[in-house]
Amino acid sequence: MFAPRGGKAEVEEGLEFAPKFDRDGLIPALALDAGSREPLMLAYMNEESLRRTLEIGEAVYWSRSRQEFWHKGATSGHIQRIVEIRTDCDQDALILLVEQVGAGACHTGRESCFYRKVVASHGGASAAQLEWIGPGKSFDPAAVYGKP
């Protein structure tokens, strides 16, 4: 389904889709809400999960922790309908513009996994800290995922 990797000019200036998978066979995919452009989550796809994503029009990742296909929303109902997929100059990263179905993308119960920002400390050696952003939890993960 995907083209073989050509030279730099072909990869950067061509219209053949030749995604580069890393040595684990994965490519990073950042899901953005297609409407609000809020970043939702960053996950990884292997060749087969990318193929399935294109086929069904819903995000299918590869779970590195569980080492299995991860059809987002199969458990929670919070599927991600694909609006557009972009790739970058060297075709080793993907942006998914998605319609996030249901209460949120994050297994912690939030709309987005990016619910904290980094606050740099100006004291030099002291630790950087995080601060909450966003509306907090929008669903109860225990109820949705069926485990505490």
Least distance to its own copies from the beta carbon of 74, Å? 19
User: Nearer Cβ to its own copies, position 81 or 107?
Assistant: 107
Is the Cβ–Cβ distance between 46 and 64 less than 8 Å? no
Report the b/e string of 39-56 with b at 16+ CB within 10 A.
Answer: ebbebbbbeebbebbeee
Position 144 contacts its own copies (CB under 8 A): no
The HSE-up count of residue 88 (CA atoms within 13 Å, CB side) is 10
User: Nearer Cβ to its own copies, position 74 or 130?
Assistant: 130
Position 34 contacts its own copies (CB under 8 A): no
Position 142 contacts its own copies (CB under 8 A): no
Of positions 48, 55, 68, 140, contacts its own copies by CB under 8 A: 55
Which H or E run includes 50?
helix 47-56
Is the Cβ–Cβ distance between 66 and 44 less than 8 Å? no
What are 78's two structure tokens?
């919070």
Binding site for its own copies (CB under 8 A): 1-3, 12-17, 28, 30, 32, 37-39, 41-42, 54-55, 57, 84-89, 93, 95, 106-108, 110, 113-118, 120-121, 125-133
